[in-house]
Amino acid sequence: KSMATLISLATMQEKPVALMTLALTRAKMCELLATHSEPSLKDVGFTVGLFSALDALLDMTMEQVLENLPVSEQIQQALLHHEGLAGHLLDCILAY
């Protein structure tokens, strides 16, 4: 429910379609990288990639975004500090 609300707010603010496309591309790239390195993290990778652009979509800091989302510590650490395997995947796609 919270995620749907955040995404709805982003679309109401008329953010560029390119930003939404970027979020979805990052999500798929993280998912694919996770599938090859640690298949059990496929869903985590997708989520981290997707959420990596929420700060820009919502004009909020990532800390503020994550306060409103019930996500795991693993996802929080990946998004805030690029820690863990999910954080490493995020680093890889951001460098691409």
Please return the burial class of 90, using the count of CB atoms within 10 Å of its CB with bins 0-12, 13-18 and 19+: buried
Q: Which amino acid does the sequence have at 37?
A: S
Across the range 90-95, mean pLDDT stands at 96
Residues recorded for the chain: 96
Type and span of the H or E element at 27: helix 17-37
Structure tokens at 20: 């939404």
Chain position carrying tokens 């979509």: 57
pLDDT of residue 75: 97
Lowest mean pLDDT among 15-19, 33-37, 88-92: 15-19
Which domain does 32 fall in, by range? 2-95
Number of domains in the chain: 1
Give the SS3 label for residue 53.
coil
